[in-house]
Amino acid sequence: MAKVLIDPITRIEGHLSIEIDVQNGKVADAWSIGDMFRGFERIFVGRNPLDANQLTQRICGVCPISHGIASSKCLESAFGIKPNDNGRILRNLMLAANYLHSHLIHFYHLAALDYVDITALLKYTGGDSKINNLKAWVESEVKVKKGRIDSLTAGAPFLPRYEGNFYIKDVDTNIDAIAGYVKALEMRMKAHKMVAAIGGRSPHAIGLVAGGVTQVPTRAMIREYKKYIGELEKFINNVYMNHVIAVAKTFGDYFKIGSFTNFLSYGLFDLDNEDKKFFLQRGVAYGTKVEPFDHTKIREQVRFGRYSSGSNLYPHDGQTQAQPGKGGAYTWLKAPRYDNIPLEVGPLARVVISYLSGNESVKREVDGLLKIFNADISAVFSTLGRHAARAIEAKLIVAAMPEWIDELEVNGKPRNTFEIPNEGKGMGLVEASRGALGHWIVVKDKKIANYQAVVPTTWFCGPRGDDGVKGPVEQALIGTPISDPKNPIEAARVVRSFDPCIACAVHVVEGDKEIGTFRVC
């Protein structure tokens, strides 16, 4: 038996450790440990409700648009108003571009390096100048001895990585994926420009407000946004999708590893102003059974979180009272529960729920991929299922953008107006790229009396609930084969497939602690 602490989990956003108990070469138990407390929810209290639009976006630089939209919808619900059509569509367009940015970071710049061998660069003999520049850079910055990276300089972007016989062997496939890594940097920049075309800047857009957005959809704005769509679409359909397929072909075991089968989605991209009709469907799925969503079943539990706050509270009553030395607690994340059940959120949740709800485009894409791998639907509930779901989403989203642009009323009003009431309660639900994101506000004397964000990474990386039942990532790790406890890459692959963002999940840094037999960075 070996207790393995992966601390930190690198190539994610924020500070996460995973402790696993390995028995007979497999993960027998797991603990997901969020290492930072930031106290954002407490910062909002006592402020003007309108500050929420800007302050909540500072929770994270990767998904600020979803926080901006969740806070806008939360205020609308407290103020008793709805967005207008232009406002809703412009929000969708901003969120859509932010999704492309986020999914490309995740695959190329965070997760792909679990599969792609960057030392293949040293064997490259082709004529692509970008690849040769990269090769020269790796040769000068990274010392490789007998195929293993021997040392590195600070800031080397492909590192750290586990050294071993873990990666794609075919040199051409590796080189192609590394070229994708470089190209994806440019694609991300273009997606950012699309967000900025509407939101004024990216990340942290200034144009998201209750009632809609501040930017009137002028022809110039639309032209600026539109000009990047074609190139992104080509990259997603011809490069990103193929790299996901190449990884899946080489690492087919991961259709069975990292499985979790209960899901939640609030519904992605509002297709009406009533929060009822979505591009990807709202719902809760237990395996292949999908149910309607009911927000009153949401609670956050803190038995194992470092909080003295009451446990199992609905977010309007939620508290964020830190208790760093709390006995038995092992993380700064709370444990969200739906009807007392832990649920996975994110691209796989959205794709599964949409598939089960009869979404034709999702069905076509999922069935198309399953056919390539001669697999049935059970393969979807897996590490590779998460990567495939992200690529499917990116493909469907980039294809929908031109249609949404055509629905805009050019030069029309971008928002509805409102008055801040003396008192009110509101809820704003949105799908962030990592999954279901909810904001809840209580307004008193025209000020924020309470503000709670229940975010995607808290859903999937949260700890055991009050009943001791493990969170989704903890459960998904169980049974993962670990070939070498000193290089637990298999566990890292499972965790990274969820795309954790601990900056979002814990809204005082702890001192060092010693747990377990091996510390592996």
205 touches Mg ion (CB under 5 A): no
Distance CA 110, CA 499 (A): 8
Residue 512: partners with Cβ closer than 8 Å, 6 or more residues away: none
DSSP letter for 15, please.
-
345 touches ligand NFE (CB under 6 A): no
DSSP letter for 253, please.
G
* Binder among 504, 506, 507, 520 for ligand NFE (CB under 6 A): 504
Region binding ligand NFE by CB under 6 A among candidate stretches 105-113, 336-344, 364-372, 427-435: 427-435
Binding mask 266-285 for Mg ion (x = CB under 5 A): --------------------
Query: How many residues sit in the footprint of Mg ion (CB under 5 A)?
Result: 1
> Given the complex with ligand NFE, which of 285 and 505 has the nearer CB atom?
505
Cα 439 to chain center, whole Å? 16
330 with 304: CB under 8 angstroms?
yes
Query: How many residues sit in the footprint of ligand NFE (CB under 6 A)?
Result: 17
| 119 residue type, one letter | T
> Given the complex with ligand NFE, which of 187 and 432 has the nearer CB atom?
432
Residue whose Cβ sits closest to Mg ion = 453
369 with 283: CB under 8 angstroms?
no
49 touches ligand NFE (CB under 6 A): no
Distance CA 98, CA 202 (A): 9
> Given the complex with ligand NFE, which of 57 and 84 has the nearer CB atom?
57
425 with 78: CB under 8 angstroms?
yes
> Given the complex with Mg ion, which of 280 and 453 has the nearer CB atom?
453
CA nearest neighbour of 392 among 376, 370, 422: 370
13 touches ligand NFE (CB under 6 A): yes
Q: Which residues, numbered 445-464, are part of the site for ligand NFE (CB under 6 A)?
A: 455-457
> Given the complex with ligand NFE, which of 442 and 454 has the nearer CB atom?
454
66 touches ligand NFE (CB under 6 A): yes
Backbone angles phi, psi at 296, to 5 degrees: -70, -10
CA nearest neighbour of 90 among 232, 258, 222, 278: 222
Distance CA 459, CA 439 (A): 14
Binding mask 434-463 for Mg ion (x = CB under 5 A): -------------------x----------
CA nearest neighbour of 387 among 489, 239, 496: 496
Tokens of 325: 């030395």
Q: Which residues, numbered 21-50, are part of the site for Mg ion (CB under 5 A)?
A: none
Q: Where in 136-282 does DSSP place strands (E)?
A: 143-145, 148-151, 208-209, 212-213, 262-265, 268-270, 278-280
* Binder among 173, 433, 480, 497 for ligand NFE (CB under 6 A): 433
82 with 73: CB under 8 angstroms?
no
Q: How far apart are the first and last CA of the chain?
A: 20
Residue 243 interacts, among ligand NFE, Mg ion, none and using kind-specific CB cut-offs from 5 to 8 Å, with: none
Region binding ligand NFE by CB under 6 A among candidate stretches 58-66, 190-198, 222-230, 478-486: 58-66
> Given the complex with Mg ion, which of 391 and 453 has the nearer CB atom?
453
CA nearest neighbour of 285 among 216, 237, 357: 357
* Binder among 6, 33, 43, 60 for ligand NFE (CB under 6 A): 60
> Given the complex with Mg ion, which of 326 and 413 has the nearer CB atom?
326
Residue 475 interacts, among Mg ion, ligand NFE, none and using kind-specific CB cut-offs from 5 to 8 Å, with: none
> Given the complex with ligand NFE, which of 13 and 490 has the nearer CB atom?
13
Distance CA 414, CA 213 (A): 6
Least separation in angstroms between residue 63's CB and ligand NFE is 3
> Given the complex with ligand NFE, which of 70 and 113 has the nearer CB atom?
70
* Binder among 198, 248, 437, 448 for ligand NFE (CB under 6 A): 437
Distance CA 91, CA 69 (A): 7
Region binding ligand NFE by CB under 6 A among candidate stretches 3-11, 31-39, 303-311, 502-510: 502-510
Question: How many CB atoms sit inside 10 A of residue 502's CB?
Answer: 27
191, containing H or E segment? helix 171-199
List C-alpha distances in Å: 229 to 71, 225, 280, 349: 27, 8, 20, 26
Residue 27 interacts, among Mg ion, ligand NFE, none and using kind-specific CB cut-offs from 5 to 8 Å, with: none
> Given the complex with ligand NFE, which of 62 and 74 has the nearer CB atom?
62
Region binding ligand NFE by CB under 6 A among candidate stretches 155-163, 224-232, 475-483, 497-505: 497-505
Q: Which residues in this chain contact ligand NFE in the complex, by CB under 6 A?
A: 13, 60, 62-63, 66-67, 432-434, 437, 455-457, 501, 503-505
Q: Which residues in this chain contact Mg ion in the complex, by CB under 5 A?
A: 453
